[in-house]
Structure 1
Amino acid sequence: MQQTTQLLRGNYQYDRNAYIAAGEPMIFHCHHYNVYLQAVIEDTSSYLNVYPMLSDSAQEIVYTQFSNFFKENQDLSVEDKKYICQDYFSFCGFGIIDLTNLTKEGGKVIAPFEHYGIGWKTKFGLREKNKKGVAFFAAGYIAGATEAIFDLPLGTLCTEQKECISQGDTKSSFEVFFRKNNTEDENHTDLVASPQEGKYQTYQLKQPSNTTIDYEGIRQALTNMDLQGDSQTGLIDAFGVLLTRMYANYYCLISYKLLRLFEDEMGKDGLPLAAELLTEAGHVCAYNTFGGVMQSTEWNAMIKPMIEKKHDWVHGITAVVNAFGWGFWEIEELKPNQKLKMKIVSGYEPNNYLAHFDSHTDLPISFLASGGIAGIMNLVYNTSLTEDFITLDENEYKKMIQKTSLFQAQKYICRVKEHSQFDQITVSSIAS
């Protein structure tokens, strides 16, 4: 069994800067981005029906991954399959789930630790009891895994959260049951298999000549780190944040389905608002994730000794990104305190969009990348992080974004929109 679970954990593919596990691209993101992106989506729930897609998207991906894996490993019993799905949930930092009592008709699932519930409470405090629980991803994971375990068609089951750690409950719990059909459930949408790796590209990591940062050395060191869920909690506590090995396609699906909901409700005029919300989530991710990395013991031990000039901080965090599974990030131009032009090859956002959606868009869709690149420059040049330790809280963030020297994406070539071979995003100060 141990050998089988190891097969599912996948490998880092250096030719496309991606972790691939049973066909699914997995990427590192932390609780700040996970819960903030979900909060941004939930804020639109008063006029958009967003809740079903949060769990349905996870169900589509998890079902595809496990059903394919189980077809390739046909000697597994039902109990073996349950163990594998539980183990992978914990390995990825999602927490701990107990699938023991599930049957092909469903059943109850207990999660004594769950990433979104704990992450939400850590970032936002206790959630009101009159709201839904926040573990939509876990709910979809459980439904998709159960369908794969019992070889049921995708969309047969759904999951309802009954208790949530974010609301002060001692555990999160879920009820799995048969999904109603279209005529009985207005929230039902047809579930579609995951695009898996999508339209990925191959490339070779390049070492810039104008920095002392060792890109390949950092990538090798980070991709060989043993980053997996703790045996007691199933959580990954690293770089000062709660990390997850999250499905790249999950972020893409919930983001791009949100775009479709905005367009259906408001027409194309609603798309810029959706893009602004999703890009801000990427900026918040950079502030917390990159900021946490740049103040971590791992950074101080591995990367800070390489830094000679301030612009090396930008190169250092870019080198780290190249071990996150996000594709290749390559600095084409860096003017300290003025401009950063980043080339992105095989970015996980266009990889998904080009494979999963049947139409091109006039809107650039690399929201995480756009916000993240601006966030790098804002951390380095609009905070004192490179000189002193700072507390990365809401007050510090508000001070940063109120500066006239704030960096934002000013020029944006998108692989989807322009039919380009790569994304090219240029951020500069809004005052320039």
Structure 2
Amino acid sequence: MEDFRSVIKWLDGHDFVFAGDTPVCSHCHHYNLFIDKTIDDALGVGSSIQLRTDAAREFFFQLLSSVFAEAGVDSPDERLSLAAEIFSNFGHGKIDLSQLNADGGEAIGEHMHYAYTWLEKFGDTQQRYHPADAVAGGFAAAALACAHDLAPEAVDVQETECLVLGDSRCVFELSIREVELSEPRIRVDYDKIAEVVPETFAGIQEETVERLTVGLKEFLANVSGDERGLIQAFGVFVTTNPSSLYNRISYEMLETLRREHPSFVAVSASLLREAGRLCGFNTFGGIIGSPEWEALTGSTERDMLTVALHACTIARGLGFGRWSVSDYEEGKMIAFQAPSTYEGPYYKIRHGVADDPTCYLFEGACEAAAQLGHAVDWSEQPDFTPAFYEDVFAPSNNPWRAEQTRCACKGDDRCEVVVTRTE
């Protein structure tokens, strides 16, 4: 395939991005690792690995099937080769799928995003006792199923070697089993998402935000994995994943807890918001503080409103949805809105009408944007390290509290988060 980017498209007016017909978005390693740990802690490592593997297998199968069809790629070898190319372009590392066949086989991974970045972030301070690459395993299973026209549920995968366990590479053993096909899950794709999103609208300084978004999308369109298959930029490692992968593991974790451990639901939901706050702080902060961002925006202004508008621009460029600022009172409050975040369409399609707001990433990241504009001295060119995060968001240093006041999944006409100063 000459140019994989030919299958990338956007949903006009909503800033959702698709590979083929599958919604995707980009996240940093801080978010990826924190989400994984949240689910590990809530469900136990075994159940967590299975859920994350199943979600990756489901939605990468959808993505690869769609891309192969659009590209006219038919033979198993061509499909496996293109799948490995997509894996690296998406920042997940290098994966060798050439030893796979219709009976299974072995996939070899080098510089796997989750294992590599876990070692980068925690390797000097923490010991790990289980593999890190459930998403890569699910991808390999999806690639094998697509290559040989198998049901994705028929492909099992186990990571038998992993960098975080002291191995020199990551190894995935794949096998085929007979399955009785169950009722297929509702597909979450371009057409269904276009049907359920509310009407779009503009926010404060919309022309500026839209102009910067166009520039950011053009910049990001040329970003892909390096010689390691990793995307390292703005102080973070970035991957592109099906957004439905994040949604499935988050919402199914909460559903399991509601059935089995209802007292844990509030804690795990708060951790999903914390993941969003980590994402907003590290990704928005790293980009806004970079020379590339200064060149794109043509400005060094970093007051709170400007930082919030820039955060909305970045969210749009990463496929999070059409975020905007709807209201602002200096030193008191700032309100963010979107017709829908990427969390909303999935919830509507798979789960229906919600009783409570469902946009955990949106809520946490909006609080991060407020604190980035309030507490960060950009003239010092800060490094967005874990220690800096802990300092900025220490209870005594963070006066902001976010609340999602509207949610499209509850029947509202938009999603809205209001961040207010509590002191």
Instruction: Report the AA paired with residue 133 of structure 2.
Output: A
2:116 match: secondary structure: helix
Instruction: Tell me which residue corresponds to 2:103.
Output: 105
1:271-282 to 2 correspondence within 5 Å? 271-282=265-276
- Does residue 335 of structure 1 match 2:333? no
Instruction: Tell me which residue corresponds to 2:10.
Output: 12
Q: Is the 8 A contact 1:11 1:19 kept in 2?
A: yes
1:369 match: secondary structure: helix
Q: Is the 8 A contact 1:337 1:377 kept in 2?
A: no
Q: Is the 8 A contact 1:158 1:177 kept in 2?
A: yes
Q: Is the 8 A contact 1:96 1:111 kept in 2?
A: yes
> Among 249, 255, 269, which residue is 1:260 paired with?
255
Q: Is the 8 A contact 1:95 1:229 kept in 2?
A: no
Q: Is the 8 A contact 1:117 1:135 kept in 2?
A: yes
Cα deviation digits, residues 210-251 of structure 1 (max 9, x gap):
x9x821221111111144333511111222211112211111
Distance (Å, rounded) in 2 between the aligned partners of 1:172 and 1:232: 17
Instruction: Tell me which residue corresponds to 1:166.
Output: 164
Q: Is the 8 A contact 1:60 1:193 kept in 2?
A: no
Distance (Å, rounded) in 2 between the aligned partners of 1:266 and 1:169: 36
1:160-309 to 2 correspondence within 5 Å? 160-179=158-177, 192=185, 194-197=187-190, 198-200=192-194, 201=197, 206=202, 208-209=204-205, 214-225=208-219, 226-267=221-262, 269-303=263-297, 305=299, 307=301, 309=303
Cα deviation, residue 90, structure 1: 0.9
Of 188-197 and 214-223, the range deviating more from structure 2: 188-197
1:416 match: secondary structure: helix
Q: Is the 8 A contact 2:277 2:361 kept in 1?
A: yes
Cα deviation, residue 383, structure 1: 3.2
Cα deviation, residue 74, structure 1: 5.2
Distance (Å, rounded) in 1 between the aligned partners of 2:46 and 2:331: 40
Distance (Å, rounded) in 1 between the aligned partners of 2:47 and 2:73: 41
- Does residue 409 of structure 1 match 2:405? no
1:290-369 to 2 correspondence within 5 Å? 290-303=284-297, 305=299, 307=301, 309-357=303-351, 359-369=352-362
RMSD between superposed Cα atoms in Å: 2.6
Cα deviation, residue 31, structure 1: 0.9
Instruction: Report the AA paired with residue 382 of structure 2.
Output: I
* Contiguous gaps of at least 5 residues in structure 1: 183-187
Q: Is the 8 A contact 2:402 2:417 kept in 1?
A: yes
Distance 1:410 1:11, change over 3 A: closer
Cα deviation, residue 180, structure 1: 7.4
Distance (Å, rounded) in 1 between the aligned partners of 2:340 and 2:129: 38
Distance (Å, rounded) in 2 between the aligned partners of 1:130 and 1:306: 42
Q: Is the 8 A contact 1:27 1:245 kept in 2?
A: yes
Cα deviation digits, residues 156-213 of structure 1 (max 9, x gap):
012111122233332211111125769xxxxx9987464124434375573634x9x8
> Among 87, 97, 122, which residue is 1:124 paired with?
122
Distance (Å, rounded) in 2 between the aligned partners of 1:178 and 1:156: 6
Distance 1:62 1:194, change over 3 A: farther
Instruction: Tell me which residue corresponds to 1:397.
Output: 389
2:380 match: secondary structure: coil
Distance (Å, rounded) in 1 between the aligned partners of 2:297 and 2:55: 36
Q: Is the 8 A contact 2:204 2:327 kept in 1?
A: no
Distance (Å, rounded) in 1 between the aligned partners of 2:304 and 2:127: 47
Distance (Å, rounded) in 2 between the aligned partners of 1:389 and 1:189: 54
Cα deviation digits, residues 99-126 of structure 1 (max 9, x gap):
1010111100011121111111122226
Cα deviation digits, residues 315-374 of structure 1 (max 9, x gap):
2222222211111111111122321111111311011111122x4332211000000000
- Does residue 374 of structure 1 match 2:372? no
Identity of aligned residues (%): 23
Q: Is the 8 A contact 1:121 1:127 kept in 2?
A: no
- Does residue 134 of structure 1 match 2:127? no
Instruction: Report the AA paired with residue 253 of structure 2.
Output: L
Q: Which has the higher helix share?
A: 2
Q: Is the 8 A contact 1:203 1:328 kept in 2?
A: no
Distance 1:86 1:48, change over 3 A: closer
* Contiguous gaps of at least 5 residues in structure 2: none
Distance 1:427 1:308, change over 3 A: closer
Instruction: Report the AA paired with residue 251 of structure 2.
Output: Y
Cα deviation, residue 135, structure 1: 0.4
Instruction: Tell me which residue corresponds to 2:2.
Output: 2
- Does residue 422 of structure 1 match 2:414? yes
Distance 1:259 1:205, change over 3 A: same
Cα deviation, residue 30, structure 1: 0.9
Instruction: Report the AA paired with residue 206 of structure 1.
Output: A
Distance 1:289 1:308, change over 3 A: closer
Distance (Å, rounded) in 2 between the aligned partners of 1:342 and 1:306: 22
Cα deviation, residue 288, structure 1: 1.2
1:86-101 to 2 correspondence within 5 Å? 86-101=84-99
Q: Is the 8 A contact 1:338 1:428 kept in 2?
A: yes
Q: Is the 8 A contact 1:106 1:178 kept in 2?
A: yes
Distance 1:46 1:77, change over 3 A: closer
Distance (Å, rounded) in 2 between the aligned partners of 1:189 and 1:166: 35
1:245 match: secondary structure: strand
Cα deviation, residue 429, structure 1: 2.4
Normalized against structure 2, the TM-score is what? 0.90
Instruction: Tell me which residue corresponds to 2:148.
Output: 150
Of 141-150 and 394-403, the range deviating more from structure 2: 394-403
Aligned pair count reads 418
Q: Is the 8 A contact 1:61 1:193 kept in 2?
A: no
